[in-house]
Structure 1
């Protein structure tokens, strides 16, 4: 087969595809193959030519169709077998294999521990988080938040010019520093790469925080965080600098925690709801650290 194709393709390339050495090929040239081997080699040569003509894009179905168009009588299974033997893998299949391999090596995402039941009577027991962006003339400013589901209070936040695991860790650090994150708290998020990162999983494990994720590509599974961000975006305009935007974001979070009344909280503010849930006898003491 190499002898037939060497006028069109380099011998080294053909030998590599067939898994033989060049010296082995030249040794074989002096031998007379059997009729069955000749037929097999002829088909392999035609398969290789059809695959090369497609610029490595055709799978066994298209290669079979090309052979049929040339009058070659052969079935798909035989073509697929010859292509496997020759190591002919179409480019799309290589990309799909690499992607599948990456998915199989990735840690399994956490299960949904919230299941869209966005209510809680225990402050700090269920937290939700997400990352959004605010436009500035310097570029995007990314904002990560940690929100208490019971009171809707923003317990932690962080801003930065990149979406990184460090951004969500800083937001979680601030939430923990508020003193309102319960032992064994659930943290619910979407499937963003930052929340799936091994380093974030390790961080949560270190502090006894249980991760939870909703369905992939489904924003309703993280509706509380999405709702907060929609209010943030709707009530603030484009800023000149990231520094100015950060100042306004922090100011807005303070306003949100202490001034915005929620229907779901009986028209209390998040700070009032958190204070009442934390210490019903003294609602004036407890206020979110993020405010």
Structure 2
């Protein structure tokens, strides 16, 4: 019996072009595109190479070659602009002499025209500065200014001179507070003003309340001895969001949190469960909060008792009994959310998550902790249960 000869598939030019476009325009890998079209990787790779050769070769008209050269030139310029913007962003708002010094640093890498345009100075003023015999700004000074601007922007314009100095010193910069103040003034780094915020505590209820067992002992000797809990709010154009947090008073680390559009007992229970799952605290931990109905609820109290956690509550109308958590909320609003207008709740939730997990816990320095972040402060401990 004769073996049936396999019929060779034929492909139109349009099919080949569409197949290549999946790779060159839509970001598919050759393997993914070939699999979706039921063709071999080898065939698709050959088609792609043929089209590239055709596009770059003699098949182009003079006008097409000129257009290709123009597009490649624009692409190079856009790439350079992106690189310059990344480097120059620390000098926006600086006096022109500092910008000139930056241009002088970069002039061997990028065209002067592009450097001047992006930094907002004219060619003539830059060349006048050079002719006058410019006052050379040391490389270390430029690096200091650049890092100051980066830290200030990362904090959303919230770092004062003392905290900025501590951040810089922790990174190895030899700088005092007077110099930081002077540079902040010359660089126009102005700290945003504080705002006042309303109270969210609902203490008008008939539920049992606990004694103040913490009694303002805000500096325990080790983690998981005392936690502080409270609720605040964040406004969005879709309506309110409520943020519940649990803070370990030893390191000021946020160990549990939840954000939702309803200020319910479920909100605080989820924050507490997150903290319990993360830290696995020993029995005898003191949990301190205000007298709000959410914390006094039967469900919340049952959860505390289940894990051997001692309930402590502030005296009536005394926010200072929970001062560390109040300070956290003040920092959140002053440094991060205060001037933001969130269009959606989803946008606000993502931003608050970034503050808590990325900035506050891992980067923000605390004077109470010897100018370390909560995460770094805990890293100084060895073999601490529940800390990861």
Q: Could you tell me the TM-score, scaled by structure 1's length?
A: 0.59
Residue deviations 1:52-75 (CA, integer Å, cap 9, x gap): xxxxxxxxxxxxxxxxxxxxxxxx
Is contact 1:127-1:185 (8 Å) kept? Answer: yes
Quote the residue 1:244 is aligned against: 347
2:373 corresponds to 1:269: yes
> Secondary structure, in 3 states, of the residue corresponding to 1:232?
helix
Residue deviations 1:118-150 (CA, integer Å, cap 9, x gap): 111110110001000001001111000000000
> Secondary structure, in 3 states, of the residue corresponding to 2:361?
helix
2:263 corresponds to 1:159: no
Quote the residue 1:69 is aligned against: none
Alpha-carbon distance in structure 2 between the residues aligned to 1:129 and 1:278: 26
Q: Residues 9-88 of structure 1 correspond to what in structure 2 (within 5 A)?
A: none
Quote the residue 2:234 is aligned against: 134
> Secondary structure, in 3 states, of the residue corresponding to 2:353?
helix
Alpha-carbon distance in structure 2 between the residues aligned to 1:124 and 1:147: 10
Q: Could you tell me the TM-score, scaled by structure 2's length?
A: 0.45
Alpha-carbon distance in structure 2 between the residues aligned to 1:112 and 1:204: 16
How far is 1:111 from its partner?
0.5
Is contact 1:114-1:188 (8 Å) kept? Answer: yes
Quote the residue 1:54 is aligned against: none
User: Can you give the 5+ residue segments of structure 1 that lack an aligned partner in the other structure?
Assistant: 1-101
Quote the residue 2:96 is aligned against: none
Quote the residue 2:216 is aligned against: 116
Quote the residue 1:148 is aligned against: 248
Q: 1:154 to 1:191 in 2, by over 3 A?
A: same
> Secondary structure, in 3 states, of the residue corresponding to 2:321?
helix
Is contact 1:123-1:182 (8 Å) kept? Answer: no
2:276 corresponds to 1:176: yes
Quote the residue 1:202 is aligned against: 302
Alpha-carbon distance in structure 1 between the residues aligned to 2:387 and 2:296: 32
How far is 1:286 from its partner?
4.2
Is contact 1:121-1:277 (8 Å) kept? Answer: no
Alpha-carbon distance in structure 1 between the residues aligned to 2:387 and 2:282: 14
Is contact 1:133-1:140 (8 Å) kept? Answer: yes
RMSD, aligned CA: 1.8
> Secondary structure, in 3 states, of the residue corresponding to 1:114?
coil
How far is 1:277 from its partner?
3.3
Is contact 2:226-2:287 (8 Å) kept? Answer: yes
2:383 corresponds to 1:279: yes
Alpha-carbon distance in structure 2 between the residues aligned to 1:181 and 1:245: 30
Is contact 2:231-2:243 (8 Å) kept? Answer: yes
Is contact 2:229-2:325 (8 Å) kept? Answer: yes
How far is 1:182 from its partner?
3.2
Residue deviations 1:172-227 (CA, integer Å, cap 9, x gap): 11111112533321110011110111111111111111110111111101101100
Q: 1:268 to 1:180 in 2, by over 3 A?
A: farther
User: Can you give the 5+ residue segments of structure 2 that lack an aligned partner in the other structure?
Assistant: 1-203
> Secondary structure, in 3 states, of the residue corresponding to 2:380?
helix
Is contact 2:279-2:387 (8 Å) kept? Answer: no
> Secondary structure, in 3 states, of the residue corresponding to 1:226?
helix
How far is 1:260 from its partner?
0.6
Alpha-carbon distance in structure 2 between the residues aligned to 1:195 and 1:278: 33
Alpha-carbon distance in structure 1 between the residues aligned to 2:248 and 2:273: 14
Q: 1:121 to 1:180 in 2, by over 3 A?
A: farther
